Amino acid sequence: DITPLAALRVGFLTNALNAKCMLFFLSILSAFLAPSEPNIIIFIYGAIIFFTTVVWFCIVALCFSHEQLRQLFSNLHHWIERVTGGLLM
């Protein structure tokens, strides 16, 4: 078993060191921010992205730590993957 703090650390490092994730957020920021943008605006955008990402991963963690939701996902994962794949194509 892993402690909650260790799980948080591993999850944070996994996402923070993910090159695709960093490039995704950098591309979003570069699309919406001009080089002349004040530092406070850049900080606010960064804070919004950080907090929405934290909230999203907390929701995902809570959903998959709930036994009934995890079982439901396990039963429906093939349909979820098909629908998601179709939408992405």
Give 82: exposed, middle or buried? Use CB within 10 Å, 0-12, 13-18, 19+: exposed
Please report the pLDDT score of residue 84 as a whole number. Answer: 92
pLDDT exceeds cutoff 90 at 87: yes
- Each residue's pLDDT tens digit, 23-78: 888 888 888 888 888 999 888 988 998 899 889 888 888 888 888 988 898 899 99
